[in-house]
């Protein structure tokens, strides 16, 4: 199973150095990219209150391009070799900046089209503003991928049943929730998950939630595979 030894936040801080050593091809984005596309390693833009990020952060990566019709309809084409280790996490980010106790709701709807081959997960990545804690929600996954840490059993929260893992990547604590069956569309109520971590398990305090990201953590996609977010909305109050 693949696992991360360094967080995407840390990788982003090292972006200038990594860019020199990465081998990123010039593949073309799909024709549906009516508004924006990029094949740059750290290509990003803001649309409709969301930030799109190509985010090729892992070692040994191949080619990847991201495209967007809007902040909620976007996708990536990726051709990463069939080797271990996460290569990238193309994603769309919504900034929340509210503490857990001040949130009255934090919900999301998703609808994706993902390949039947390759090694990847489709996941939410929720961060506190200090990047001390990372909460991952895997809604589907394929191939030789796995979460950081050890099993903490299963729980039903936010409209789904999850297998829970707890660990550390050396930079921050990681709490991973893996849906017990794959889903390509649905709704997630994230606030009960955050409260369960805080109040029931006491794994963290009343953190301020900064970013809610949604995307594809890709380990391998040899030959070129498409990952499409048909629709994504993140809402908070």
Q: What is the pLDDT of residues 193-237, one digit of tens each?
A: 999 999 999 999 999 999 999 999 999 999 999 999 999 999 999
Residue 187 pLDDT > 80 = yes
First to last CA, the chain: 37
CATH of residue 115: 2.60.120.180
How does pLDDT run across 54-77, given as a tens digit for each residue? 999 999 999 999 999 999 999 999
Residue 170 in any domain: the answer is yes
Asked if 92 and 110 touch (Cβ cutoff 8 Å), the reply is: no
Question: Which pLDDT belongs to residue 165?
Answer: 98
Phi then psi for 153, rounded to 5 degrees? Answer: 90, -165
Domain with 209 in it: 8-236
Q: How far apart are CA 84 and CA 92, in angstroms?
A: 24
Residue 115 lies in a domain: yes
**Dist CA 194 CA 182 (whole Å):** 22
The answer, yes or no, to whether residue 111 has pLDDT greater than 70, is yes
**CA distance to 55, 189, 193, 198, 210, per residue, from 86 (Å):** 11, 27, 25, 28, 23
**Dist CA 16 CA 20 (whole Å):** 7
Cα–Cα separations (whole angstroms), residue 206 to 102, 195, 196, 199, 200 = 9, 9, 12, 9, 13
- Asked, for residue 174, whether it belongs to a domain, the answer is yes
Q: Is residue 3, in this structure, part of any structural domain at all?
A: no
State pTM to two decimals.
0.88
Q: Is residue 35 part of a domain?
A: yes
**Span of 4-8, 42-46, 86-90, 124-128 with lowest mean pLDDT:** 4-8
Residues 129/97, Cβ–Cβ less than 8 Å: yes
Is residue 1 included in any domain, yes or no?
no
Is 215 inside a domain boundary?
yes
Number of domains comprising the chain: 1
- Mean pLDDT across the chain, nearest whole number? 89
pLDDT of 21 above 70: no
């Amino acid at each position: 199973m693949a696992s991360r030894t360094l967080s995407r936040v840390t990788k982003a801080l090292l972006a200038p150095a990594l860019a020199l050593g990465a081998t990123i091809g010039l593949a073309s984005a799909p024709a549906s990219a009516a508004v924006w596309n990029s094949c740059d390693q750290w290509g990003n833009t803001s649309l409709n209150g969301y930030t799109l990020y190509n985010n090729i952060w892992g070692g040994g990566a191949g080619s990847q391009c991201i495209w967007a019709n809007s902040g909620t309809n976007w996708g990536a084409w990726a051709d990463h070799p069939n080797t271990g280790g996460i290569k990238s996490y193309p994603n769309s980010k919504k900034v929340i900046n509210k503490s857990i106790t001040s949130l009255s709701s934090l919900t999301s709807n998703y609808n994706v089209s993902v390949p039947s081959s390759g090694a990847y997960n489709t996941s939410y990545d929720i961060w506190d503003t200090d990047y001390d804690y990372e909460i991952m929600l895997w809604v589907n996954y394929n191939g030789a991928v796995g979460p950081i840490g050890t099993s903490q059993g299963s729980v039903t929260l936010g409209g789904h049943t999850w297998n829970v893992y707890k660990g550390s990547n050396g930079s921050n604590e990681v709490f991973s929730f893996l849906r017990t069956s794959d889903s390509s569309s649905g709704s997630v109520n994230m606030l009960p998950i955050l409260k369960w971590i805080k109040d029931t398990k006491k794994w963290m305090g009343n953190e301020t939630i900064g970013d809610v990201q949604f995307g594809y953590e890709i380990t391998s996609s040899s030959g070129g595979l498409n990952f499409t977010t048909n629709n994504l909305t993140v809402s908070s109050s």
